[in-house]
Structures are given as C-alpha cells and as structure tokens.
Structure 1
Amino acid sequence: MSTPTPTFKQVARRPRWIGVLALCLLVAAVFALLGQWQIDRAVEQGQADERDTETAVPLRSVATPGEPMLSDAGGRMVTVSGDDVAADYRTLAGRNQDGRLGWWVIGRVLVAEPDGRDASLAVALSWSATQERADAAVEALRADAATVGQAELGGRYMPTEAPTQGDVREREREAMSVAALINEWQDWNGLVYSGYLVFDPTVVAEGGATVPGDEPIVHERPVTDTQLNWLNVFYAVEWVAFMVFAFYLWYRLVKDALEREVEAIEDAEAAAV
C-alpha cells in the first residue's frame, strides 16, 4: 500500500509552518509601517504652503530693515506708514500686467523706526500701458510729494528681483532690484528693507495713499511649487517589495519542505519494490 502524498495545504497547516507564517506576518507588518512612514514623509514635503498671506499685518511684524527676508514675510499683505521721497520716483520697463507689457511707476518711502532712524522701502505703485503715461505719473507724484506728507500704505511685500539682461545690456531698468535702487536713491542712510511693496489701494480704505497711473498693479497670492519627494516614494516601494518577499520566503520554505517529503516517500516506495 502506497503512502499518501501530502499537499501544500496540509504541510502549511503544521504548527511549525504556522509559526513561521506568524513570524513573516510580523516582519511584513514592520515593513508596511516603514513604507507608510516613507509615504507620509513624501506627502508632507509636497504639501502646499497654507500660511495666511492675505490678512494684512504691520510690515514691522514680519520684516526688519537690514535683515534678509524671512519665508513668513514673502508674499504677505502688509501695511506701513511712511513719507515718500520726491526725487526717487522712476519707471521700470517690461512689466507684465495680465499678459500686457507696460511700465511700473515705482518710488521710495521712508519708514520711521523705533530708534529714530528712517528705513527706506521700495514701492511699486502702479502700472501704465505706455512710457509716456508712466513718465507723466512720475512727474505728478514728484509735484505732490512735498504736500502729501506721511501716508498709510498697504500691499503685498515681495522679495527683491535680480537684474535682467535689459538692465545690463540695454541700460533700461526692468527689475525691481533693491540692491540697484539704493545706488540711485537720494541721501540714502544705509538702512533699507530687503524686499519691496506692491501697492494695493484697497488694503487701506481710509486715509491711505492714492497714486496716479493707468491701473493698480495686479498681484496674486503666492503659490508654492509642491512636488512629491520621489526618493521617499522609491523607498516606500522598496519596503512593499520586502513585505512581499517575506510572504514569498514562507511559501518557498513550505514548498521545499513538501518537495522533500514527497521525494522521501518516493524513495521509500522505490526501495520497497
């Protein structure tokens, strides 16, 4: 009478292999947790910036003259009070406004600091469709600067820009570069905000400054370029592969045990003949 050949299921149900399966499940659970952790890290690093940039706060609460711009200040709506400098109104070429190229009218405001000194703040005031209209706005501002006095300004605080090819090659200023402007400002005392203000006349409803020019400058809430950390995603896929390998290892061990038993039975039957 021949010995019955065991099946894979019968071998797998034996206590020894059930114990090995439990161990493999534990290892796979650890690998799954590690994979989940890697995915969470990848997602966290790809989340958008959710800070409140649209509620206007005093400029001094997020920026300090002479200090680099902090990440919390970039693109933030702020308010500030200061005196304009008539001699420092000028224009910038090549400024985009909803797909149209034109000119910015820019200026300089002196902000009184707690230590009694005045800090300079570059301000982008308005957009004009032609250079002639921008130049006319500059002349109007220079004429009114001596009579307006201190005014409340509101707008979006932006990081300084790098010079463009037009600034260097064509000698036509296009970039709102604070570093370049301080070389042209009249009686600059060395104290300056590292960013500039894009003036928005709607921020300060009463008692705020008004400026000539074709249109207010269009500005938008800052958008953070968010991308997944693909290295962490790759590591997560690796942990999943290790988890699958743990189950495959258990299957292979049971399969090998079954084959050894079947081979032993066949050898015994062959010897008995």
Structure 2
Amino acid sequence: MSASIPTFRQVAARPRWIGVLIGCLLVSGIFALLGQWQIERAVEQGQRDERDTETAVPLGTMAQPGEPLTTEAGGRMVSLIGDDTADYRALAGRNQDGRSGWWIIGRVLVEDDGAPAADLPADAPGASLAVAYGWTADEASAREEAAAMADDAGTVGAAPVVGRYLPAEAPTDGDVRGRTNEAMSVAALVNEWQDWDGRAYTGYLVLDPEASGARVVGDEPIVSRPPEQNTQLNWLNVFYAIEWVAFMGFALYLWYRLVKDARERDIEAIEEAEEAAAARADAPAPHPTAE
C-alpha cells in the first residue's frame, strides 16, 4: 500500500515551517515600516512651501547686518524704519515683465529693524541696506531720477520702509569688464557708498511704495513676486520605498520556496521507499540449500 503524498498545506503546518513563517513575517513587517518611512520622507520633502511671505514682519526678526541670508528670510516682506542717504544710482538691464529697463537704487540707514535694541552706542549710525526703489524704461530718466533723489536725501528723516527682502546678486561681466552697474550686488555697492561704517545687510530690499506710504519712483514700481512654491516629489525616496516592498515580497517567497522544497524532498523519499519495497517484492526467493 503506497504512502499518501503530503500536500503543501500539510507540510506548511509543521511546527518547523510555522516558525520560519513567523520569522519571515517579522522581517516583512520591518521592510514594510522602512518602505512607509521612505514614502513619508518623499511626501515631506515634496510638500509645498506654506510659509507666509506676504505679511510684512520686522526686518530684525529675519536678518541681521553681516549675516548670510537664510531660506526663511529670502523673499519675505519685511518692514523697518530707515533714513535715506545720497547714494542713489541707476542699474542697467533690469527686466520688468519682459521689458528691459533700469532700476533706481539707493541706500537706507536702518534706524529701527523691529528687533530688540542692539548693544551699540546711542549715537551709532544704522546699518546700511540696499534698496531698489523703482523701474524706468530709459537710462536718461533713471539717472535723472537718481540725481534728484540724491539732492533731496536726508531732508525727510526716518520713515517706514516696506518691501521684499531678496538675496544679493553676483556681479556680471558688464559690471566687471564693461564697468557698468547691472547687478544688485551688495559686495560691489559697499565700495561705492559714501561714509559707509562697515555694517550692511547681505540682502537687498525691493520697495513696496503703497505699503511704505511713499511715492512711485520712476515709471512704475518694480514687479516683485512671491517665492516659487516647491512641489516636486522626491523620487529617490519613492524608489527606495519600492525596493523595500520588493524585499518584503521576497521574504514571503523565500518561505514558500522552502516549504515547497521540503514537500518535494518528502515526495522523493516516499517514491524511493516504494521503489525499494517493489524491488524486494519482485526479487526471486532464494533456493533452499541441501544439507
């Protein structure tokens, strides 16, 4: 009578393979958690920048003289109390909604940045802040406006200034070789400012005339848009998450393969035992030996 062939379920129900299954499930669970973590990282890094950049905050809460411009400060609307200086000039090659023109720029001495008072002498001058005041289409108008503002500098006194705080630009070939002013480079401007005391903000301000309660300088205010929102998903983390899912599936497949191999070995052992038994049954009986 032939022995019954074990089914896959019968082999899998043996204590040994149940223990292996539990181990594989634990490993798969770890892989699943790692995959979930990678997905969360991808989503977190791909989230939109939800910070409020349009509500003006005190400049002193975002930046200090001489300190690098931070991601939090870049593109923020800020407010301060400042007094203008005679350092007005025209800046070439400035784009305004696809039109090339000129900026009228200047320097403000920051009297009150909204931060707690610094430990400075009472008569210490304010730190310098580069300011872009307005845009005009032609060079002559820009230079005329800059000269007129320089003549009137210091006649009004400290006043509110509101605008968008942006990172300074690097000098262009025109600045270096053509000896023209094209970049809003604080590093270059400090070499041209009169009576500069060595303290300056590393970024510059694009004036918002309406919020500042000031007149429009030049032909029109400079177009200054909020920072672009980053919504790009981190696909590298997504790829890692897919890898962890693949590892999880491999752990379960490994258990299935081990059980299947064990069943095949059992079947081979049964078949070999049956073949041996049949061979013994078919063997001729030995002849009795005469005494």
Structure 2 length-normalised TM: 0.85
- The 1-side partners of 2:49 and 2:220 are apart by 29
Aligned length: 269
What pairs up with 1:160-199 in 2 under 5 angstroms?
160-199=168-207
3-state SS of 2:210 partner: coil
Deviation at 1:239, TM superposition (A): 2.0
Q: 1:128 matched to which residue of 2? A: 136
Instruction: Please say which structure displays the higher CA radius of gyration.
Output: 2
2:225 counterpart of 1:220: yes
Q: Does 1:51 align with 2:51?
A: yes
| SS at structure 2 position matched to 1:147 | coil
Task: Return the alpha-carbon distance in structure 1 between the equivalents of residues 217 and 132 of structure 2.
Answer: 12
RMSD over aligned CA atoms reads 2.0
Percent of residue pairs identical: 68
Kept in 1, the 8 Å contact 2:106–2:133? The answer is yes
Task: Quote the Cα distance in structure 2 between the aligned partners of 1:27 and 1:64.
Answer: 51
1:6-52 superposed Cα distances (whole Å, 9 cap, x missing partner): 22233223343233222211210111001211222233233333222
Any stretches of 5+ residues in structure 2 without a counterpart? 279-291
* Shift >4 Å, 4+ stretches: 224-231
> What SS class does the counterpart of residue 209 from structure 2 fall into?
coil
The residue that corresponds to 2:37 in the other structure is 37
Classify 1:146/1:20 alpha carbon distance in 2 versus 1 (closer, same or farther; 3 Å): closer
Partner of 1:259: 264
How many angstroms apart in 2 are the aligned matches of 1:227 and 1:169?
38
- Structure 1 position 226, deviation (Å): 5.4
Residue 31 of structure 1 aligns with an amino acid whose one-letter code is F
For 1:251, the aligned partner's letter is: Y
Query: Shift in Å at residue 146 of structure 1?
Result: 4.5
The unaligned stretches of length 5 or more in structure 1 are none
Q: Which amino acid aligns with 2:181?
A: R
Q: Match of 2:127, SS?
A: strand
The one-character-per-residue Cα deviations of 1:103-147 (angstroms, maximum 9, x if unpaired) are 111011112265332211100011111212212321332243343
Larger deviation: 159-168 or 109-118? 109-118
Per mean C-alpha deviation after superposition, the further-off stretch among 219-228 and 76-85 is 219-228
